[in-house]
Amino acid sequence: MKKIAITGSNGFIGSTLTRILKKNYDVISLVRYGSNIELLPEDSTIVYIDYHKPDKIAEILKDVEILIHTAALTRAKTWQQFKKINIDLTEKLVDIFNDTESLKQFVFISSQAASGPAQSKTTPKIESDKCEPISMYGRSKFLAENIIKEKANKPWTIIRPVAVFGPGDKDFLQYFKLMKSHLAFITGFKKKYINLIYVDDLVEITSKTLVNEKAYNQILFASNSEAYSLENFIQNLGSFMNTYFITIHVPEILLYPIALIGEFFSIFSKKPPIINREKIKEFKERYWLVNNEKANKLLDFKPSDNIVQNLQTTYNWYKEKKWI
């Protein structure tokens, strides 16, 4: 069996990749010392690492063929934090990749945020469009992509998922929790659209890029095919959660002060707030939309567009794990 190593493998996406890829690959889960491993399957091969010790990482990777890099900060208080993890760590891993003979492919889980939002509902972003990230997170992912493209001297694949949901995710969990308390918040009054991808679909796309020459040195959006309005998404949630809810439209003019309050209280915490000025920039955009044709054609992939069923599975998982 081919050996794969996954950074960030205890996270939402990393743990799902580990669980599914383990069926066909020898997967090594790279995890930081002291990290929470509750999402990883019990029989995972966990190797604890210190990202400040590249020599030790190189030693661990000496007989690994594919490195999947998912570790990242999706929220941070400062640009320095984003830079250190999302850019500098990626560069360090690319150096190790170049110097490690056994490694044949570097797969980077980037983000739609690297490319930025689309201009309209009818012009979803395509991979060759100019990247126009609007947040520090997006910029850090974009710059990390550039490092891979410029420095990697062997095949790489960059996957840019749209918003990912599924068992283990803590972001969409907040929507589910609000709906359970009969509330749904929408920012502003203009219709906003998003694409979504179920985590198992993202894993399938990733899996189809592995040792696949067609995917070498390619950037691919990972998304299902529907553009969901936020109202539509919330209605779907409400229908299978079998709950009534009140939709509150928060005027955009209030978002900035709300973010400032969040940031003020987060001064006393190590964690960045759920809502800050960076997130507000993202919330205000109306068209977080991409065209998924390139990945679908290249990888012969068909996303499971049954969002209700996948949301239901996610909800059941949250209930089973008592996250909700």
Ligand X SMILES: NC(=O)c1ccc[n+]([C@@H]2O[C@H](COP(=O)([O-])OP(=O)(O)OC[C@H]3O[C@@H](n4cnc5c(N)ncnc54)[C@H](OP(=O)(O)O)[C@@H]3O)[C@@H](O)[C@H]2O)c1
Least Å distance, CB 83 to ligand X, is 11
Closer CB to ligand X, residue 2 or residue 84? Answer: 84
Q: Which residues pair with 108 in a beta bridge?
A: 69, 158
Nearest to 82 by CA among 93, 72, 69, 92: 72
Nearest to 230 by CA among 173, 301, 287, 272: 287
Least Å distance, CB 35 to ligand X, is 3
Least Å distance, CB 246 to ligand X, is 26
Tokens at 279, concatenated: 């997130």
Q: Measure the CA–CA gap between 73 and 63, rounded to whole angstroms.
A: 28
Q: Measure the CA–CA gap between 88 and 165, rounded to whole angstroms.
A: 27
Least Å distance, CB 254 to ligand X, is 25
Closer CB to ligand X, residue 87 or residue 103? Answer: 87
Closer CB to ligand X, residue 225 or residue 243? Answer: 225
How big is the chain by its Cα radius of gyration, in Å? 19
Closer CB to ligand X, residue 132 or residue 249? Answer: 132
Contact 157, 221 (CB under 8 A): no
Least Å distance, CB 128 to ligand X, is 19
Which position's Cβ is nearest ligand X? 11
Least Å distance, CB 171 to ligand X, is 6
- With b meaning 16 or more CB within 10 Å and e meaning fewer, what string describes 249-276? eeeeeebeebbeebbeebeeeeebbebb
Closer CB to ligand X, residue 18 or residue 296? Answer: 18
Closer CB to ligand X, residue 10 or residue 187? Answer: 10
Closer CB to ligand X, residue 49 or residue 215? Answer: 49
Contact 148, 90 (CB under 8 A): yes
Which secondary-structure segment (H or E) carries 13? helix 12-21
By CB under 6 A, name the binding residues for ligand X: 8, 10-14, 32, 35-36, 51, 70-74, 85, 109, 111, 161, 163-164
- Which amino acid, 245? F
Least Å distance, CB 70 to ligand X, is 4
